[in-house]
Structure 1
C-alpha cells in the first residue's frame, strides 16, 4: 500500500478545441492551474473529464501527458473506470507507467447485483495492475450507488481497495458508517462536486475530489479546516455554494465557463450532452466569482457546442 491519500484532489476536465478535438496543451494548462493552487493531487480521467465521451486511445494519451507533467510535482490518481475489465486494466497500467499512486474505479454497471462479481473484479484488477484502488461509489445512473453493507463486504474481501470516494447521498452519514464499520479503510473522500464538503470533513473524510474550477478555494477551505478555523472554512463554503449549485445543473459546461472566465482555457467545447448557460447565467456566475475574489474575464473563444 502506497499510504493514505488525503487533501484536495480535483478531477481534471478534458479540454477540446472549437472543433471538438482533444486539446492536450490546454488540458495541461488546467493541470498547471491546479498545481499553482496548491492541490495535494489530481485525478484523471473521471466523470468531470467526460471520460465516457473519450476513446480509449484519447484517455491513454492524456494519462501519459498528464503523468509527464505531474510526476515529481503532485500525486496522480488514474481514473480506470471503463465498460470492460480489459480496458480498466489497460487504463490502470497506463497510470502505473505515468507514475500514478492509485486507480479510481467506478463500480461497473455490468456487475449490478453481483456482489461477489464486484469482489472478483477488484481482486483481478489489483493482480493485473498492482495499484491501490479507490472505489468510486457514485449514485445511479453514473454508478451503482452501493449501500454501506455492500461496500463493507467488498472492503473485507478485496483488500486492494484501500480508499473510497463516497458520492451517494446522504454522503455524510454514509461516511460515518463506513469509518465505523470498516476500520481498515485508509480513507474516504467526498465528491459530489464539493457540495457537502464541510459535513464530509467534520465526519472524518480525508479529503475531497471536486471539479477543478475552484481548486484554489477548495485548498483554502481544507487548510482552514485543518488549522481549526472552522468559521473561515464555512465562509469559503458559503461563498462557493452558489457556483457549486450551478455546477450541479450545468456540470462540464459550468466548469469550463469558469475556467474560461479565469483565463485558464479558451474553448468551452463539451462532448457530453446537457444544458448550456445563457447570458443571464453567465452574468450571475461572474457576480459569484467576484464574491470569491476572482476577476472574471471575457474568454477569447467561448465555444459551448456539445
Structure 2
C-alpha cells in the first residue's frame, strides 16, 4: 500500500507544509508500506519546479528512511524529469514514477530512450506509470512489455489503463522477469481484481489509508471475504472520488481534522451543497472504519 501524498495548500494557494506533513504522518501511522509524491492526486502539474524540488527535500527529511519513497518525476520536459528523479534519489527515493510522455506516443524507441535517460541520470529504478489519455498515453500491453525489456532501469509499472485487471495479467505474463512488480492505481476502485490477478500492491489517494491497509492485510492473510467486505464498504466514497478527485480527498482530510484548508489549484468540478451532504452520509456509514474525531498521527511533529 503506497498512497499518493497530496499537496496541501493554504487558502491563499501557498503550500501548507504543516498540513502536508500532518497528512504524511497520518498515512504512516495508518500502516502504509510507502509514500508516493507527487502523483496525479498531488496536483503535480500545478506545482512549480522549485516547489516540487523543495517538497522532495522536505519529504526526505520527514520520512527519514521509515518507509520507501517513490518520487514522481513526470514532466513534459525530459531535462526536468531527470532533475526530479535525481532530486528524489538524493532524498532517498527507491524509484521514480514517470508518466508515459505524449511527445513520444508514436515512437517506441524515443520513449525507451526517454526512460533510459531518467534512470541513468538518477541511478534509481523507474516505475512506468501507464495512465490513459489525457493524463498519459495509455500504451498497449505489448508496448509496455517491450519498454521493460529494452530498458533494464524500468523495474516497475503502475497500470491504470482499463481494463486494468486484464492488463496486469497480460503484462505479468508478457514481461516476465523484466519487471519486479506491477502495481494498480485508479484510486483502488479495482483493487481486489488487480490483487487476484497478481498485482503486488496499489497506489491510491490517501483519505482512507487505514481501510486500504486493512484490506490488503486481509488479502495477504488469505481472508478474501474480509478484503471484499472492506472494498465494498469503501467503494461508494471512492466512486465520488473518481469524479471530484483531489477535492474529495481534501474534503475528507479536512473532516478528519488533518488539514485546515481544502484549497486546490487544479481545475475540475467543485463539491456543491448536495455533494457535501452526500460525503457526510457516506462517511457516516463507515464511521467505524474512518473516524472523524480521532486520527492517528494527526499532529505533525
**Into which bin does the TM-score normalised by the smaller protein fall?**
over 0.9
Partner of 1:104: 97
User: More displaced, 71-80 or 162-171?
Assistant: 71-80
Deviation, 1:71, is 2.0
Task: Return the offset for 1:242.
Answer: 0.6
What is the Cα deviation at residue 52 of structure 1? 0.3
Mapping 1:181-220, distance limit 5 Å: 181-184=174-177, 185-220=179-214
Counterpart of 2:296 in structure 1 is none
Unpaired runs of at least 5, structure 2: 294-301
CA contact (8 A) 1:239 1:288 kept: no
Q: Distance in 2 between matches of 1:150 and 1:266?
A: 44
In the alignment, the residues of structure 2 paired with residue 232 and residue 262 of structure 1 have an alpha-carbon distance, to the nearest angstrom, of 25
Given that 1:38 and 1:216 are in contact with CA atoms closer than 8 Å, whether structure 2 keeps it comes out as yes
C-alpha distance in 1 between matches for 2:194 and 2:117: 31
Alignment of 1:1-306 (within 5 A): 8-184=1-177, 185-292=179-286, 293=288, 294-296=290-292
Q: Deviations over 1:37-87 (max 9, x none)?
A: 000000000100000000000000011111111122111000000121110
Q: TM-score, normalised by structure 1?
A: 0.93
- For the residue of structure 2 that corresponds to 1:212, the secondary structure is coil
Provide the aligned C-alpha RMSD in A: 0.9
- Is the 1:137–1:143 contact (alpha carbons within 8 Å) kept by the matching residues of 2? yes
Q: Is the 8 A contact 1:290 1:296 kept in 2?
A: no
Count of matched residue pairs: 290
**Aligned equivalents of 1:20 and 1:165: distance in 2?**
30
- Aligned partner of 2:297 in structure 1 is none
Paired position in structure 2 for 1:4:
none
Asked if structure 2 preserves the Cα contact closer than 8 Å seen for 1:133 and 1:163, the reply is: yes
In the other structure, the counterpart of 1:300 is none
- 1:220-245 Cα offsets, whole Å, 9 max, x none, are 00000000001110011001101110
Instruction: Please say if residues 168 and 198 of structure 2, whose CA atoms lie closer than 8 Å, have aligned partners that are also in contact.
Output: yes
Structure 1 portions without partners, runs of 5+: 1-7, 298-306
In 2, Cα distance between equivalents of 1:135 and 1:175: 13
Give the deviation of 1:97 after TM superposition.
1.2
C-alpha displacement of 1:295: 3.6
Alpha-carbon distance in structure 1 between the residues aligned to 2:66 and 2:149: 33
Deviation of the 1:23 alpha carbon: 1.0
Once residues 265 and 74 of structure 1 are traced to their aligned partners in structure 2, the CA distance between those partners, rounded to angstroms, is 22
Q: Matched residue of 1:62: which SS?
A: helix
